[in-house]
Amino acid sequence: MPLRLAIGFAVTAVGAGFVAWRAAFLVRLALAGREAPGRLARLPRQLWAEVTDVFAQRKLLRWSVPGVAHFFTFWGFIALLFTIVEVYGDLFYRRFAFPFVGHTAGLGFVEDFFAFLVLAAVVTFAVIRLVRNPHERGRESRFYGSHTGLAWAVLGLIFLVIATLWLYRGAQYNDGTFPYGHTWWTFASHGVGLALAPFGHGGANAGIETAFILAQIAVIWGFFVLVVYSKHLHIFVSELNVLLSRRPKALGPLATTPNMDPEQISEEDVFGAGRIEHLTWKQYLDFYSCTECGRCQDQCPAWATAKPLSPKLLIMNLRDHLFASAPALLGRGDGDAKGHTGISLVPSVIDPDVLWSCTTCGACVEQCPVDIEHVDTIVDLRRYQVLMESSFPTEAGTMLRNVENRGDPWGLGSSHRLDWAEGLPFEVPVVGDSIPEGVEYLFWVGCAGALDERARRATQALARVLHRAGVSFAVLGPKESCTGDPARRMGNEYLFQTQAQQNIETLKGVGARKVVAWCPHCFNTLAREYPALGGDFEVIHHTQLLSRLVSEGRLRPSAPQDRSVTYHDPCYLARHNDVRQAPRSVLEAVPGLTSVEMHRHGRRTFCCGAGGSRMWMEERIGKRINAERTDEALSTGADVVGVACPYCMIMLDDAVKERQAAGTAPEALRVLDIAQVMEPSLGEMPPGAPQGAGP
């Protein structure tokens, strides 16, 4: 056996051994997680997400420069697989060629071209890492907290893969064994060959060829070993993670709806995740997949306002803990029963301030290029704290008690549910035993829309606008109760399901089919989360209905409005439910109104700070999130901050008033719902028939 074949074999055997051992360990560890049912429930959409997000790199390309660099690296690696086969072919048989393709100039060009692109991408990544150096930029750098040393090592190894490739091919060029011949199609190998020409056409170049063929094999296996032992594992597992993601488009409902039926649960049941063994194999796969790119951290409103929560660091900490717990999970710990770590995730691994800082805005999930589902994990951790440990911020306890005892987070009770309708110039039908004949929509007002003073004014405006369009609607009044959204985001799944069952029963009882919701949180819960509990209704958000009424000509804004508006996308509308255009189309229909976008808008909107039940918790750390968002709105110079959510309205209005009191915001600045912005352009409400009614 020639020496180079023996060395090549030995290096391969050692590298492959390390990789195989690690791969087997990773598979066994992942399988130690809990079950994660329904992961292939929407296979056609999931396969499409694989095409768009993995092969077309859709999410990464939103970040132009690093996105393009990553695109070239991904496809470059695929093209370089040909060169790996060739280098092994060379080891065994000098005339090795791919069947059918052979050594055509086209293949040689593709290999050299993609190798060049990968090299260009490596340089780009290096520059990005220098510019975003976390040691200089601190928390502002998305790489803050990432393993930057390892990232440099991988960049170095990728560089060596390309360098050794071109060096052995350049040497082949001179010793007459280069299979693609003397052509500039293989421009890089050709160029390196010319540089090596002074070493002659035989001995020295033959030696260089052998040395760099072996070096390339060693570098490739070194790279594979580093990948499977580091965060670069994402190169092999992220494709699977994207495929198994349950939300290829909008964020949708939470992954799990545990069975909370008191007749079916037992003392042994564990709700949520208190220890690492309570998480599912899919969550373990999430941890394996994290690239530490920091895009989630960069978009997180908690992190941006100096709170301790970084979705990236949360995932990294859980991953580190998972690996540290492997002996216990796999049953090899000292005296540990198999699968029991005995270590509480909160506070040992995740600080309570980290856990309770999350607004469940979904910016992290939306940005993550490998579809990690941070919010599900955070809610799972909260569920355990609330349901198993009774441990949560004290002030949020009041909200939970109010929902449980009075049916709304403020504890005002059902008798106030219709107060908002007082003073309207028409009667709002209240549903009795069933929805009256001819009524098209059940108007789900929501707790904030019915009980908060500011939100009530928007509810009234919405009702007037719907009335003018001739939309027949009725409300549940005192029969309406909290959807359970704040309880669910807090982690009180039991209370959520109690509320949900009660509401589903009510809605089914009155024969509701079409529901229009004012609040995106109600909308999300009714439309996305009730179906898992047997509540299937046709639910739309009020901005979608207004947009439709405008396009059908049933609402005709005609009185010009000489003012400007900046629209704030609510997270539970723009991100969780993909509704971004409808509210904008309503604003566009208002003559004279100028719309100006905030820097963070649409999918990249910035939370108002109320989601995830944060509305009912004190915000003691860092800058207030609503103040941060309000400052961004103020920077646009708009006269109105347009909203489509009562939570956003309350949070932003509070911050605007603070700024006005401090003299840093114009006195005339208003926070208004889309319906309130539109209503004046409809002119005076005419007596008699509504504007859109009739033929």
Where along the sequence are the contacts to ligand SF4 (CB under 6 A)? 290-296, 299-302, 309, 311-312, 315, 358-364, 367-368, 370, 372, 374-375
Cα gap 234→3, rounded to integer Å: 35
Nearer to ligand SF4, 467 or 576 (CB): 576
Q: Which is nearer to ligand SF4, 362 or 491 (CB)?
A: 362
For residue 312, the minimal CB distance to ligand SF4 (Å) is 4
Strand partners, 516: 443, 540
Question: Based on CB atoms, which residue is closest to ligand SF4, 208 or 386?
Answer: 386
Dihedrals phi, psi of 558, to nearest 5 degrees = -135, -25
Q: In whole angstroms, how far apart are CA 154 and each of 15, 157, 223, 362?
A: 16, 5, 7, 30
Q: Where are the strands (E) in 481-572, listed by range?
A: 514-517, 538-541, 564-567
Query: Residue 556 or 604: which CB sits closer to ligand SF4?
Result: 604
Would you call 516 exposed, middle or buried from its count of C-beta atoms within 10 A (0-12, 13-18, 19+)?
A: buried
Residue 232 or 479 with smaller CB distance to ligand SF4: 232
- Shortest reach from residue 379's CB to ligand SF4, in Å: 10
For residue 539, the SS3 value is strand
Give 151 or 461: the residue with its C-beta nearer to ligand SF4: 151
State the SS3 of 207-252. Answer: HHHHHHHHHHHHHHHHHHHHHHCCHHHHHHHHHHHHHCCCCCCCCC
For 642, left (φ over 0), alpha (ψ -120 to 50), or beta?
A: beta
Q: Edge-to-edge, what's the strand order for the sheet holding 441-444?
A: 473-475, 441-444, 514-517, 538-541
Q: Which residues on adjacent β-strands are paired with residue 517?
A: 444, 541
Instruction: Identify which of residues 147 and 340 has a Cβ nearer to ligand SF4 in the complex.
Output: 147
- CA-to-CA distance for 330 and 31, rounded, in angstroms? 10
Q: CB 606 → ligand SF4: shortest distance, Å? A: 10
Q: Which is nearer to ligand SF4, 243 or 593 (CB)?
A: 243
3-state secondary structure labels for all residues of 65-82? HHHHHHHHHHHHHHHHHH
Amino acid letter for position 40: L
Q: Least distance to ligand SF4 from the beta carbon of 286, Å?
A: 8
Helical (H) or strand (E) element with 594: strand 594-595
The answer to whether residues 216 and 164 touch, using CB atoms and an 8 Å cutoff, is: yes
Nearer to ligand SF4, 499 or 613 (CB): 613
**Least distance in angstroms from the C-beta of 366 to ligand SF4:** 8
| Residue 4 and residue 213 in contact, taking contact as beta carbons nearer than 8 Å | yes
Q: How far apart are CA 491 and CA 504, in angstroms?
A: 20
Closest contact distance (angstroms) between CB of 55 and ligand SF4 is 18
Distance of closest approach, residue 231 Cβ to ligand SF4, in angstroms? 8
Q: Which is nearer to ligand SF4, 421 or 645 (CB)?
A: 645
* Adjacent-strand bridge partners of 565: 595, 640
CB of 134 to ligand SF4, least distance (A): 13
Residue 599 CB, nearest approach to ligand SF4 (Å) = 17
245 vs 360 by CB, closer to ligand SF4: 360
In sequence order, the β-bridge partners of residue 442 are 474, 515
Cβ proximity to ligand SF4, 305 vs 543, nearer residue: 305
- How far is 129 from 253, CA to CA, in rounded Å? 35
Q: How far is the CB of 523 from ligand SF4 (least distance, A)?
A: 18
User: Could you tell me how far CA 84 lies from the centroid of its own chain?
Assistant: 35
Residue 527 C-beta: closest distance to ligand SF4, Å? 20
By the 10 Å C-beta count (0-12 exposed, 13-18 middle, 19+ buried), 609 is classed as buried
CA atoms of 526 and 536, how far apart (whole Å): 8
Closest separation between CB of residue 571 and ligand SF4, Å? 8
Q: How far is the CB of 651 from ligand SF4 (least distance, A)?
A: 14
Pick between residue 350 and residue 370 the one whose CB is nearest to ligand SF4. Answer: 370
Chain centroid offset of residue 257 CA:
19
